[in-house]
């Protein structure tokens, strides 16, 4: 994985323009590994890895049994990826990694509450989409074959944690948050390894993953540009919660020519 350290927001914008069609994920600390929330939870609290599948299956089963009380269309819970998406967006640990098709949305999530250098990971989704990158040991496991939107595929190719594969995409029906964030999900086939390690096992002539580091010195300029682009919590999280979360940035954005209040 190539790592690029940019020295300015302008350089980041110029670099991101060369990654047309890629997907992006922002992380608030450049040293954090690229792991899902479920990976971090299992590695920290479930030492016996032989129990991981049963624990993950139980978590999904409990969510399905109870979430029908809170969703307008409970039948959506029957869709594996849609169910995981709901779990993810409401705070449950899942194997999904949130990515976005916008490098600027990724930058916002990385920078908003950062106090150190941040990282934007860029994934070459066009190459993965066209199966120009396939796992070396199991090239038959194409993106189409393992699609977790297909009934039974989550159990067959992912829950067993034995297939070092990566799938990306969205549920057939996207919620308002996923739409607002230009979101997409990356679904790893194993949860004990960070995404770069899994992709190292792929055969490809193309670069699959890049890490872009934004130093903390870039944050002030970047946040002003993102504010001008209307990339805020209010636009990314539709509703009162998003509006309330956006007020923190409003505290920073006091324009010299604008009256307070």
Q: Residue 164 has what pLDDT?
A: 96
Q: What is the mean pLDDT of the chain?
A: 91
User: Global pTM?
Assistant: 0.90
- Is a pLDDT exceeding 80 seen at residue 254? no
Domain boundaries, the chain: 2-252
Q: Please list, in sequence order, all residues whose beta carbon lies within 8 angstroms of the beta carbon of residue 207, skipping any fewer than 6 positions away.
A: 2, 124
The answer to whether 217 touches 198, Cβ cutoff 8 Å, is no
Q: pLDDT of 72-115, one tens digit each?
A: 777 778 899 999 999 998 899 999 999 999 999 999 999 999 99
- Is a pLDDT exceeding 60 seen at residue 252? yes
CA–CA distance, 250 with 43 (Å, rounded to integer): 37
Q: pLDDT of 201-228, one tens digit each?
A: 999 999 999 999 999 999 999 999 999 9
DSSP at 70: T
- Is a pLDDT exceeding 60 seen at residue 258? no
């Amino acid at each position: 994985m190539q790592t690029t350290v940019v020295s300015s927001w302008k350089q980041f914008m110029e670099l991101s323009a060369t990654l047309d069609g890629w997907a992006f994920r922002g992380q608030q600390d450049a040293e954090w590994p690229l792991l899902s929330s479920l990976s971090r939870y299992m590695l920290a609290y479930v030492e016996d890895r032989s129990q991981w599948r049963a624990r993950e299956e139980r978590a999904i089963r409990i969510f399905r049994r109870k979430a029908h009380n809170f969703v307008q269309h409970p039948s959506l819970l029957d869709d594996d990826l849609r169910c995981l998406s709901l779990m993810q967006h409401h705070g449950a640990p899942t194997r999904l990694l949130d990515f976005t098709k916008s490098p600027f949305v990724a930058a916002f999530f990385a920078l908003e509450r950062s106090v150190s250098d941040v990282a934007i990971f860029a994934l070459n989704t066009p190459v993965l989409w066209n199966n120009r990158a396939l796992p070396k040991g199991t090239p038959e496991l194409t993106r189409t074959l393992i699609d977790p939107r297909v009934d039974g595929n989550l159990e067959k190719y992912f829950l067993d944690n034995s297939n070092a594969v990566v799938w990306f995409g969205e549920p057939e029906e996207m919620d308002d948050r996923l739409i607002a964030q230009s979101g997409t999900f990356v679904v790893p086939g194993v949860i004990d390894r960070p995404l770069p390690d899994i992709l190292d096992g792929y055969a490809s002539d193309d670069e699959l993953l890049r890490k872009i580091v934004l130093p903390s010195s870039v944050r002030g300029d970047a946040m002003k540009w993102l504010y001008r682009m209307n990339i805020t919590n209010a636009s990314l999280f539709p509703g009162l919660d998003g509006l309330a979360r956006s007020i923190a940035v409003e505290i920073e954005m006091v324009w010299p020519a604008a009256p307070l209040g």
